[in-house]
Amino acid sequence: MTYEAVLFDMDGTLVDSIPAWHKTFNDVLEYTGGDKVGYETFCQDILGQSTEEDVSRFFPNLSPGELVELYDEFFPNNIGSVTLFPETDEVLEYLSRKNKLKVIVTNTPRELMHLTLETVGLTGRFDGVFGGDDVAVGKPEPDLIHHACKAVRVKESDSVMVGDTKADIGAGGAAGCTTVGIGVDGDHRIESLGELMGLLEGL
């Protein structure tokens, strides 16, 4: 295939923010009277799901909007642990040399997405950045992918979706993108972000 754009999940794909989100999730659980979850459970069963799923499974007394407000309040307290994955700069520079569009599609609320990008020095490095509150329902539904592709004027069939969770792969596949899973199965599977460049050379 020929591709025109690469759509990236953010957390766990481009930036190592999982410990920060685990702490934030537990902070909100504690604040609302819920039981904290372990790191392994968070990574395997919660990470990457939409805010709507968070509400349905863990915060039944909150609306999605109210939960986003709590994330907005608690996440900045944990932002100091967020770091850039070593391969991220090289991959973004590679795509720039190839004149490919670089887009972020994350379930993270928009305000926290921008805070994360600023913290790790990625502000201004993308052709489009889209957060979970840009659409009514986030990944694994395809709405966010469709929204992003329309905004940057690229067809889903000409796009590659890269992510580290089943929600990323499910959303990309449902939207009609070629999917690349980092540590998870998609149309293609890699084990680290740095392997993406070699894979894209063969597409």
pLDDT at 20: 96
pLDDT at 1: 76
Whether residues 188 and 152 share a domain: the answer is: yes
Whether residues 60 and 131 share a domain: the answer is: no
Domains: count for the chain: 2
Whether residues 53 and 31 share a domain: the answer is: yes
Given 81, 100, 122, the domain boundary residue is: 81
pLDDT in tens, the chain (203 residues): 799 999 999 999 999 999 999 999 999 999 999 999 999 999 999 998 899 999 999 999 999 999 999 999 999 999 999 999 999 999 999 999 999 999 999 999 999 999 999 999 999 999 999 999 999 999 999 999 999 999 999 999 999 999 999 999 999 999 999 999 999 999 999 999 999 999 999 88
Q: What is the CATH number of the domain that holds 177?
A: 3.40.50.1000
User: 87 in helix, strand or coil?
Assistant: coil
Whether residues 123 and 189 share a domain: the answer is: yes
Given 66, 81, 96, the domain boundary residue is: 81
Whether residues 42 and 122 share a domain: the answer is: no
What's the distance, CA 138 to chain centroid? 10
Whether residues 138 and 168 share a domain: the answer is: yes
Full-model pTM: 0.91
Query: At which residue do the structure tokens 């709507």 appear?
Result: 52
Q: Is 38 exposed, middle or buried (0-12, 13-18, 19+ CB in 10 A)?
A: exposed
CA distances from 117 to 30, 77, 122, 124, 157 (A): 27, 16, 5, 9, 27
Whether residues 35 and 103 share a domain: the answer is: no
Whether residues 101 and 150 share a domain: the answer is: yes
| Of 8, 2, 1, 4, nearest in space to 196 by CA | 8
For the chain, the straight-line distance linking the first and the last C-alpha, in angstroms and rounded, comes to 5
Pairing of strands 159-163, 128-130: unpaired
Given 81, 101, 116, the domain boundary residue is: 81
Whether residues 135 and 88 share a domain: the answer is: yes
Whether residues 69 and 95 share a domain: the answer is: no
> Residue 102: in which H helix or E strand, if any?
strand 101-105
Separation between Cα atoms, residue 102 and residue 128, nearest integer Å: 7
Whether residues 62 and 88 share a domain: the answer is: no
Parent domain of 139: 5-16+83-201
Whether residues 172 and 87 share a domain: the answer is: yes
- Interacting residues of 16 by C-beta distance below 8 A, sequence separation 6+: 82, 83, 84, 85
Render the burial of 158-190: b for 16+ CB within 10 Å, e for the rest: bbbbbbbbbbbbbbbbbbbbbbbbbebebbbeb
